[in-house]
Homo-oligomer: A and B are copies of this chain.
Amino acid sequence: MESWSFLDTVESNFRPLVVIELAKGTKEETIKWFTERIVDKKANGGAQLLVKPLVTENGVENIYLVGASHLRLLLGAETVGLVKECSDNSMRAFTYSSRKTFKHFADDNHNFLTMAECQYIIKHELENLRAKNENMIPGYPQAKLYPGKSIVRRLLTSGILVQIFPLHDREELKKLSHSWYGRVKVGYQPLDDIRCYFGETIALYFGFLEYFTFALIPMAVIGIPYYMFAWEDYDKYVMFATFNLLWSTVILEVWKRICAILTYRWGTLLMKRQFEEPRPGFHGVLGINPVTGREEPVYSSIKRQLRIYLVSLPFVCLCLYFSLYVMMIYFDLEQWALDYHKENESNFSSLMLYVPSIIYAVVIEIMNRIYRYAAEFLTSWENHRLESSYQNHLILKVLVFNFLNCFSSLFYIAFVLFDMKLLRQSLATLLITSQILNQFAESLLPYWLQKRYNRKMKKGMCSKKSDMDLSLAEQVNMEKEMGTYLGTFDDYLELFLQFGYVSLFSCVYPLAAVFAVLNNITEIYSDALKMCRVYKRPFAEPTANIGVWQLAFETMSVISVVTNCILIGMSPEVDALFPDSKMDLVLTVALVEHLLLAIKFIMAFVIPDKPRDIQTKLAKLEFESLEALKQQQMKLAAESLKE
């Protein structure tokens, strides 16, 4: 291993940022080729990064640490389009030539870029390491390459590369976890620190979770007296529901503004969208991409449409039907339990009353998880070229099913059985069961497993060192066995369903908001624990908003207007107001519903998506770039006209 020593002398302060784990028994020539490509100069088509093998007590283990020189990282920051704060407090795209104008920049300040940014840059550079004239991975003739193909993606799909992950920074992590969840405190989360450590996507999720919790507090506060004083007046319920419906529009609109403030500060609001590469699983016959003109796999859009509409859509419909079928069984069970309770009244039988609901809640969870795998398989089989399009189709499939699965029984109780008492009871059971199940399955169970594993590992290493004193090799070995965080999808989904429980039937069960708030407070802690202790550190992912979830929450808020209006219309108190004509009642309810919907749309239209000062800052930036262009043209014009 002579070649490495050379690099060592070049960069004496090599800082490991990213870990590459190759499969056991990977051929020497492949390793040599791959590492050389990583180290090779940009001009020769390399990534010009630094690589070091990890040497443990057991010798070399096919694990490599990747780092980069300070200069290389700065140039990479320009390539990925990082936006940083300037000395005059404006946000600008970082360029190496204008580096002196940025706040906190100094040639010897190696903290100008956060560790998460450095890791993101390295990931980007590794993924953009492309085949030149190789037509296969050396040593693996079956792993085909073609000019322009991302080498890392091919290595991943052919199983030679097991994983790439960024290293934790034990010290930073300790500081972060202390200020985040280490002490019981009232106050905001350290969002900026979270963003520095985990990147924008995760920080934005926690920002949304926190915002959403605060936004639910007014609903919860108003909801408590309904429970305490057992208010059953119709006008109070109508007031609560109306407040809820308008409030949910306001909070979703205001979130857009807060999101703009956060992402402006983080620079991602201004970040230019990079050209999207095909996702790793995408396959097809080699052809010419009409956009890039490069050779790459091409897959006919018509075939994909056919797969979507002829296979996926019917399958989803079938699953929805099956879910409804299970629901009917649940109602039979419920009826049976009720009959049983009536026949032999005892403690056991009254306990039995809750059994069907709990079974159903568990079955729903299981079905959700099975369906999730099917949806992932199908969406992957649809062979989407872009990761974003894959994600959108997956989210849509999962959302529809989860929505039906969670809410169909409630809809059935509300609008077919007309049983408000049962609705309230089922709502409470479903909400609380799913919250407990989720918290357990998502955070506490993995945490416990991880802890047990760590203990075993440490015993194996025959050392009783604390986490802070671990050697680099020990740290890497421990982290590579940790679970991989699969993104914010499930966390948002949980919030989405919770929002459904709170808003769809808010006029029947005002206490839902209270449970939601309580759950979210513990959710912040358990999610934070999960991020810091259970999972491998994820790569930072820049983002400017919560994407398709904004639309999902807004759709839910529109549906809840409809359900709440119907629920209020069905209440006996409202019924009593129209003693002569049911017709007038229905027409009034329909009118009110349309009015509320109209108000919602007008409110969404009138409230600007970005606060005025962010708008001004964006306009200023655009104006400056236009002016710069004009100046350049003026100079050219003056020169041309002189001639």
Whether B633 lies near A594 (C-beta < 8 A) is: no
Interface code A614-643, partner B: CB below 8 Å = 1, 0 otherwise? 001001101100110010011011101100
Are A72's CB and B290's CB within 8 A?
no
Q: Is A636 in contact with B96, judged by CB distance below 8 angstroms? A: yes
Q: Are B43 and A622 in contact (CB under 8 A)?
A: no
6 contacts between A and B (CB under 8 A): A43-B638, A71-B641, A78-B637, A79-B637, A95-B633, A292-B623
For A274, the chain B residues whose CB sits under 8 A away are 626
Please name all residues of chain B whose beta carbon is closer than 8 Å to the beta carbon of A636 when the two chains form the complex. 75, 96-97
Query: Interface code A253-294, partner B: CB below 8 Å = 1, 0 otherwise?
Result: 000000000000000000010110000000000000011110
Q: Mark A589-619, 1 if CB is under 8 A from B, else 0.
A: 0100010000000000000000010001001
**Residue from B48, B78, B638 in contact with A42 in the complex, judged by beta carbons closer than 8 Å:** B638
A interface list, Cβ under 8 A from B: 41-43, 48, 71-72, 75, 78-79, 95-97, 272, 274-275, 290-293, 301, 562, 582-583, 586-587, 590, 594, 612, 616, 619-620, 622-623, 626-627, 630, 633-634, 636-638, 640-641
Instruction: Sort A-B residue pairs by CB-CB distance and give the 8 closest, nearest first.
Output: A75-B637, A291-B619, A586-B586, A291-B620, A290-B616, A43-B638, A275-B623, A582-B583
* Neighbour of A290 across the interface among B96, B293, B620, CB < 8 A: B620
Q: How far is the CA of A48 from the CA of B641 in the complex (A)?
A: 10
Which of B272, B301, B641 makes the CB contact (< 8 A) with A75? B641
B616 near A72: Cβ-Cβ < 8 Å: no
Quick one: copies of this chain in the complex? 2
Among A71, A95, A586, A634: residue with most chain B CB under 10 A: A586
Instruction: Tell me how far the C-beta of A550 lies from the nearest C-beta in chain B, rounded to whole angstroms.
Output: 14
Q: Which of B43, B293, B590, B630 contacts A586 (CB 8 A)?
A: B590
Contact, CB under 8 Å: B586 / A42: no
Please name all residues of chain B whose beta carbon is closer than 8 Å to the beta carbon of A79 when the two chains form the complex: 630, 633, 637
User: Residues of B contacting A594 with CB < 8 Å?
Assistant: 562
* Closest CB in chain B relative to A435 CB, distance in Å: 30
CB distance from A396 to the nearest CB of B (A): 10
Q: Quick one: given A587-B586, A590-B586, A590-B590, are A633 and B78 in contact (CB under 8 Å)?
A: yes
Residue of B with least CB distance to A638: B43
Which chain B residues lie closer than 8 Å to A623 at the CB level?
Answer: 275, 291-292
Q: Is the CB of A42 within 8 A of B75?
A: no
A7 to chain B, nearest CB (A): 14
B583 with A640: CB separation less than 8 A: no
Q: Which chain B positions have C-beta within 8 A of A41? A: 638, 641
The answer to whether B622 and A275 have CB atoms under 8 Å apart is: yes
Question: In whole Å, how far is A94's beta carbon from the nearest beta carbon of chain B?
Answer: 11
Cα distance, A290 to B616, chains bound together (Å): 7
| A483 smallest CB distance to B (angstroms) | 35
Min distance, Cβ A558 to any Cβ of chain B, angstroms = 9
Q: Which residues of B contact A627 (CB under 8 A)?
A: 275
Report the nearest B residue to A634, measured CB to CB: B42
Q: What's the nearest-Cβ distance from chain B to residue A551, in Å?
A: 9
* A600 CA to B589 CA, complexed, in Å: 23
Partner of A640, one of B75, B562, B587, B626: B75
Q: When chains A and B are docked, how far (Å) is the Cα of A476 from the Cα of B42?
A: 64
Contact between chains at B42 and A641 (CB < 8 Å)? yes
Other than A78-B637, A272-B626, A293-B620, give 7 A-B pairs with Cβ distance below 8 A: A42-B641, A71-B640, A75-B636, A96-B640, A582-B583, A586-B587, A586-B590
A70 CB, nearest partner CB in chain B, Å:
12
Is the Cβ of B75 less than 8 Å from the Cβ of A616? no
**A75–B587 CB distance below 8 A:** no
- A612–B633 Cα distance when bound, in Å, is 34
| Minimum Cβ distance to chain B for residue A375 (Å) | 19
In angstroms, Cα B72 to Cα A75, docked, is 39
Contacts of A630 in B (CB 8 A): 79
Nearest-neighbour CB distance to chain B for A118, whole angstroms, equals 16
Residue of B nearest to A616 (CB): B290
Q: For the complex, what is the distance from the CA of A61 to the CA of B318, rounded to whole Å? A: 81
Name the B residues within 8 Å of A272 (CB-CB). Answer: 626
Q: Is the CB of B72 within 8 A of A641?
A: yes
- Chain B residues with CB below 8 A from A97, complex form: 636
Q: How many angstroms from the CA of A348 to the CA of B274 in the assembled complex?
A: 75
Closest to A273 in B: B622
In angstroms, how far is the closest chain B Cβ from the Cβ of A640?
6
A594 nearest in chain B by CB position: B562
Which residues of B have CB within 8 Å of A290? 616, 620
Task: Determine how close the nearest CB of chain B comes to the CB of A91; give it in whole angstroms.
Answer: 15
Chain B residues with CB under 8 A of A638: 41-43
Q: Write out the residue numbers on chain B whose beta carbons fall within 8 Å of the beta carbon of A626.
A: 272, 274-275
Chain B positions within 8 Å of A637 at CB level: 42, 75, 78-79, 96
CB nearest neighbor in B for A293:
B620
Shortest beta-carbon distance from A142 to chain B in Å = 31
Q: Roughly how many angstroms separate A41 CA and B640 CA in the complex, as a whole number?
A: 12
